[in-house]
Amino acid sequence: MEKETARIEAFSDGVFAIAITLLILEIKVPTPSSVDLSHQLLQLWPSFVAYVISFAFIGIMWINHHRLFTHIHRSDNALMFVNLLLLLGVTSVPYPTAVLAQHLGHPSQRTAVIFYQGTYVAIAIFFNVLWRYAKSHHLLGKEVDMAAADKISTQYAFGPLMYLMCMGLAWVSVTASLVVNIALACFFAVPAEYSTRIVKRQAPTYPS
C-alpha cells in the first residue's frame, strides 16, 4: 500500500531540486573585456566557495528529509504545514548564499556570514519541529525501531545550538565559522546511529 506521505515526499523532492539548481544561477558569467578571463574567474572564488558549501548543505538536507520519511508513514494537516515551513527555509538558501558570495573577502563579510548561518539555525529548528511532531503524534510506521527514532532526535537536538555557535563564532573568525559549518554538514550527513555514537564517545565521563 502506498504511504500517506508519498505526495509530500514527491513535492518536497521537487522543491529541493529547484533550490539546489538555483544556486548555480547566482554565479555570473564573466563578460568579455580587456581583463584576462582566467583572472575574472579567479575573482569569482567567493561565489564558488558559497556555491559548494550551500550545494552540500541542500544535498545533505535532502538526504535527511528522505531518512525522516522512511520512518514517517502517516500525515495530517499540521505535518504538511510544518513540512512547508522546512521547505520555506530550503528555498531561501540561494539568497543568503548570494549575499555571502557578494561580501566574502570584504569588510562586510562578518554580517554576511551571520545572516548565512542564521538561515541554517531556522532550518535546523524546522527539522526538529517536523521530526518531533511526527514522533509525538504517532505518525511513524508501526515497524519503526523506536531506539533508532530516539537517535535521530538526539542528533537533531544539536543542530540549532551548533548553528547558533557558528553565528557567534563569526564575530571571532569568519573562516572558523564557515569551517565549523562544513563540519556540521559532515555530522548530519552521517546516519544518526553512527553520529550519536561519535557524540557519546567524545563526551567527557566523570567518576560517580
Q: How many domains does the chain have?
A: 1
- pTM across the whole model: 0.83
The predicted pLDDT at position 199 comes to 46
207 is a domain residue? no
129 is a domain residue? yes
Average pLDDT of the residues of the chain: 87
Given pLDDT bands bounded at 50, 70 and 90, which one contains residue 196?
Answer: very low
32 is a domain residue? no
Residue 188's nearest CA partner among 64, 83, 59, 91 is: 64
171 is a domain residue? yes
Given pLDDT bands bounded at 50, 70 and 90, which one contains residue 149?
Answer: confident
Cα distances from 113 to residues 59, 66, 90, 117, in angstroms, run 20, 28, 17, 6
208 is a domain residue? no
pLDDT over 90 (residue 33): no
Q: What is the pLDDT of residues 11-22, one digit of tens each?
A: 999 999 999 999
The whole-angstrom separation of Cα 51 and Cα 49 is 5
Given pLDDT bands bounded at 50, 70 and 90, which one contains residue 1?
Answer: very low
Provide the residue range defining the domain that includes 171: 6-23+46-201
Residue 178's nearest CA partner among 91, 88, 112, 106 is: 112
Mean of pLDDT values over 183-208: 61
28 is a domain residue? no
18 is a domain residue? yes
